[in-house]
Every structure is written in C-alpha cells, then in structure tokens.
C-alpha cells in the first residue's frame, strides 16, 4: 500500500472517529401492573434510527424503569418495548404502543462574530 493511501486511510479514520454520532436518549416506562406477582426478567427496547436501522436492547430487572441509549443518530426514530419472561410459555409480551421521536443536537447554535458592514460590493 502506498504512503499516500495509508495517509488517506488514517485521515478517514480520524474523521470518522471525531464525527458526531448523535445524542443519548433516555427511555423511561412504567412496569406492568402485575410486576410484583409475575416472574418478569426485564424488558426489550426496539428502535429504528433515522437511517432505518433496527436496534434491539435487552434490559434486565423487572423493576427497572429507565435506560439510557447512547449515541442515537440524529433524526426521526421509532421506539417500542416488550416485557420479557424466560420461564413463561410465551417469553415476550405484546408490543407497547410505538413512539415517534426526533433526536436533535442538545444545545443552541452560537451567533457569528466579527460581523462588519460596508457600502458597495467587495
């Protein structure tokens, strides 16, 4: 491999490693009403990011009520959940209602500085 090709690959790696991936998304929920009497193992989050890529996250703990999903890509996404029970005849519940959510950059843009105004065209 030539030196210029190696430099290009290193440059691409540096660019991709510093690119903004997205924002963390906090998912919160209320456990099922029968959480104290049913042998739940946890929950499963399904989401589709802005590129249409499907993702699945399993969360242990039947009393868990929140999970942070790191670096979700900016743009529209769809989310839903199920409950899990490994010792049940049916190991996964019906799906929750689907929630649409747009992931946006946290913060506010900065104003330009050094603005000057002059007559005529430059």
CATH number, domain at 55? 2.60.40.10
Q: Please identify which residue in the block is written with the tokens 């104290």.
A: 36
The reply to whether 110 falls in a domain is no
The reply to whether 122 falls in a domain is no
Rounded to two decimals, what is the model's pTM? 0.72
Most confident of 6-15, 20-29, 47-56: 47-56
Q: What is the DSSP string of the chain?
A: --HHHHHHHHHHHHHHHHS---EEEEEE----TTTTTS---EEEEEEE-TT--EEEEEEE-TT--EEEEEEEPSEEEEEEEEEE-TTSSS-B------EEEEE--SS-PPPP-S----SS--
Residue 114, pLDDT above cutoff 60: yes
Q: What is the mean pLDDT of the chain?
A: 84
The reply to whether 97 falls in a domain is yes
Per the structure, the complete domain to which residue 97 belongs is given by 21-103
The reply to whether 39 falls in a domain is yes
Lowest mean pLDDT among 10-14, 28-32, 79-83: 10-14
The reply to whether 79 falls in a domain is yes
Lowest mean pLDDT among 8-17, 28-37, 111-120: 8-17
Number of folded domains that form the chain? 1
């Amino acid at each position: 491999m030539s030196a210029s090709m190696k430099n290009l690959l290193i440059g691409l790696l540096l660019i991709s490693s510093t690119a903004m991936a997205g924002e963390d998304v906090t998912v919160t929920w209320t456990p099922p009403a029968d959480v104290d009497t049913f042998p739940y193992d946890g929950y499963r989050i399904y989401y589709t990011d802005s590129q249409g890529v499907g993702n699945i996250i399993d969360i242990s703990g039947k009393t868990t009520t929140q999970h942070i999903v790191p670096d979700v890509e900016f743009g529209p996404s769809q989310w839903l959940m199920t409950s899990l029970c490994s010792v049940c005849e049916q190991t996964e519940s019906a799906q929750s209602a689907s929630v649409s959510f747009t992931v946006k950059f946290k913060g506010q843009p900065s104003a330009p500085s050094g603005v000057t105004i002059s007559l005529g065209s430059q």
